[in-house]
Structure 1
């Protein structure tokens, strides 16, 4: 054992295990990522780890892993903490006007995309391929549009946790995911 291994107290597992017959996130991968996030947050160095990196974190699914829901909820809280720090840093570096203008520009790009006609908001994958279910994505897009244009209530957690079925000739997943990520960024930026 190294000095760091002996100097750190043993911790109990932070998350419950996945149910017996279901897969969960690989424990070592989750623990390693959260340790990296903790170290980056405590170092208080801008850019050491960004909120987008937390949102994009993924872990192998294995039997005997951590339950997915509690890990995802914890990652949401970690992302929120990094986003708040990024907002504070950007406000001090850019000033409030520039920060608001940048956030408004991103929100406008998203709103422009979501204002396209239903069933034509994103590129389709083709008749032989599977993509996100068009009607489901359009329902979520309408709700986000109302949030951005009229202030209807939607939370970052609701956007993070949205899931779509797949269908032939559906929307291209990468495009939909990129817009959802941008929405979360806007939501976290305005706090």
Structure 2
């Protein structure tokens, strides 16, 4: 089993037991165990409790990103085999168009907003990143999956609903991984 470097005992890192348990489960899923229906999206959304002296989060996150890429590549190959190249590509294009329709909305109107008393993502920062994504999809602007995975937005009152923004970013990652 893979082990990761630990943080100092005075700092917090990912719970080693949780990480190791998840990686054992992921290995079973990747090897085709039908009792473990794990997919790339599950890996992307995985989170671990923090504890003093745990695994270094950056090291674990890097491994999870590579694992997600491996699962996505396998899922892409299975989908292409199942659907055929043409239908598979049409499906990816359809998803990309839905994303573009959302991201092509005017500034301040791309996502639902939280109430005036609730915190959400900073609209200006999300809108700026959305424009980069539009240029990626429409003009071929270079952008990596990691840029989308690691984007961070400040918070603001009456900002964009975080869950909605996160769902679109997940869809962007799915499309990016699908057409690699």
Settle same-fold status: TM greater than 0.5: yes
Q: Any stretches of 5+ residues in structure 2 without a counterpart?
A: none
1:141 matched to 2:130? The reply is: yes
1:150 matched to 2:139? The reply is: yes
Partner residue in 2 for 1:69 = 58
Deviations 1:77-111 (A, max 9, x none): 00000000001111111000110011001000001
Q: CA deviation at 1:43?
A: 2.4
Q: CA deviation at 1:22?
A: 3.3
Q: How many residues align?
A: 179
Q: Which runs of 4+ in 1 moved over 4 A?
A: none
| Counterpart-to-counterpart distance in 2, 1:105 and 1:162 | 24
Instruction: Work out whether residues 19 and 67 of structure 1, in 8 Å CA contact, stay in contact via their aligned partners in 2.
Output: no
TM-score normalized by the length of structure 1: 0.89
Q: How does 1:9-24 map to 2 (within 5 A)?
A: 14-24=3-13
Q: Any stretches of 5+ residues in structure 1 without a counterpart?
A: 1-10
Q: CA deviation at 1:40?
A: 1.1
Partner residue in 2 for 1:42 = 31
RMSD: 1.5
| Counterpart-to-counterpart distance in 2, 1:100 and 1:107 | 10
TM-score normalized by the length of structure 2: 0.94
Distance 1:150 1:123, change over 3 A: same
